[in-house]
Structure 1
Amino acid sequence: MAIFNAYPPLILASSSPYRAALLKRLNIPFKCCSPHIDEAPLFEETPQHLASRLAQQKAQAVREQFPQGLIIGSDQVASIDEKILDKPETHERAVTQLKVASGKKMIFYTGLCVLDGKTDQMELIVEPFYVYFRSLTQEQIENYLQQEQPYDCAGSFKAEGLGIVLFEQLEGSDPNALIGLPLIQLVTLLNKIGYSIL
């Protein structure tokens, strides 16, 4: 059994309840701290670079409050044909996103950064995950959105809920990445930085 008080405090640089719920599965103590950064993409920035940059910036922003902490920064960017999809926020924008996604492949890039505030050691990866959508009718899209209202979710669906009915196929090395925190890679990065889960 790991002696967690021998490690620096673990901080999740996120206000996302989805990421917090995933991290709880590892049964390790942590705190959540919401980073305050500008998440707008840069001019002609690729989805991969945006996910990587924001994960790093979130970790660095929270480090100011927890300079002795071990900080996990993560950000997810959804894209179709290299075009970045924002969180829809409204029903109308969610309808538009799912119409565009119908019959297509959506790629989720999850940036993951583990930053040791005390030593400056940083580990950073981008984990891709591929979602292949069924061909969806207007009625199916409306029925789905009315039931689940995933307006705070990139891609306009909740994979851990009813969103699964929208897909023909999922492809990736860690299904947790689709929800927002690739736990397999997180354990790998924590190990590299000297934090053992077991």
Structure 2
Amino acid sequence: MKPTLILASSSPFRQQLLTKFNLPFESFSPDIDETPFTTETPEQLVARLSEQKAREAIKHFDEGLVIGSDQVALFSNTILGKPHTKENAIKQLSAFSGHTVTFLTGLSVFDIKSGKAITTVVPFDVTFKTLTFEQINAYCDAEQPYNCAGSFKSEGLGICLFEKLSGDDPNTLIGLPLITLTKLLAEFGVDVLTCRNT
């Protein structure tokens, strides 16, 4: 009997990524405080929040394997917030022009019944083209990425801002590292390729 998969996210992008596994899953929106601890590194933050999101499932489900994920973008060792306004987005993107932004994605798989959780952090680098003000302004008008950390949507027109992407799994950038997730699920006895037959 294969376990129920549960995604601790209401993000349509993460849900869309998980459908690539061609396995049924349920989802819910975890309600947690995402405030960083003062002594926490960005890696510790995303690891803690992704596991915390997964553990929230015990309020909604009695059993299943829960997938939690959290992501931050780093530039010059500073966590990037959401810009919220066009002016802030232009500032962020102007600073990134010709530079590299690192995304850290926390990923946790939690078994409700056993209480076991495995959590890891997957890095991914995005190097930006040298961008003109006109390009940045046009991009902001086109996509209005004001609710996105880093002021861009890589799953949309934001891909045109980049010189190159560096990492093990391009899905990581959108918020769910599927290659790593396959390995974590295997630790719980779930082989994504064969478990639809069991």
Compute the TM-score of the two structures, normalised by the length of structure 2.
0.93
In the alignment, which of 136, 141, 153 is matched to residue 136 of structure 2?
A: 141
What SS does the corresponding residue of 1:25 show, helix, strand or coil?
Answer: helix
In the alignment, which of 83, 105, 120 is matched to residue 110 of structure 1?
A: 105
Q: Distance in 2 between the 1:31 and 1:133 partners? A: 36
- The answer to which of 162-171 and 108-117 deviates more is 162-171
Task: Label 1:87 to 1:62 Cα distance change in 2 as closer, same or farther (>3 A).
Answer: farther
Q: Distance in 2 between the 1:170 and 1:142 partners? A: 22
Task: Label 1:90 to 1:31 Cα distance change in 2 as closer, same or farther (>3 A).
Answer: farther
In the alignment, which of 23, 26, 32 is matched to residue 28 of structure 1?
A: 23
Equivalent residue, structure 1, for 2:196: none
Q: Would you say 1:53 and 2:48 are equivalent positions? A: yes
C-alpha displacement of 1:133:
0.9
Counterpart amino acid of residue 27 in structure 2: C
Tell me if the contact between 1:56 and 1:124 (Cα under 8 Å) persists in the aligned partners: yes
Deviation digits for residues 7-34 of structure 1 (CA, Å, limit 9, x no counterpart): 2221100111110010011111011100
Residue identity over aligned pairs, in percent, reads 54
Unaligned runs of 5+ in 1: 1-5
Equivalent residue, structure 2, for 1:72: 67
Q: Distance in 2 between the 1:140 and 1:45 partners? A: 36
In the alignment, which of 119, 127, 136 is matched to residue 132 of structure 1?
A: 127
Q: Would you say 1:92 and 2:94 are equivalent positions? A: no
Equivalent residue, structure 2, for 1:162: 157
Give the length in aligned residue pairs: 193
Unaligned runs of 5+ in 2: 194-198
Q: Would you say 1:15 and 2:17 are equivalent positions? A: no
Cα RMSD for the two superposed structures:
1.3
C-alpha displacement of 1:131:
0.5
Compute the TM-score of the two structures, normalised by the length of structure 1.
0.93
C-alpha displacement of 1:113:
0.1
- The answer to which of 9-18 and 82-91 deviates more is 82-91
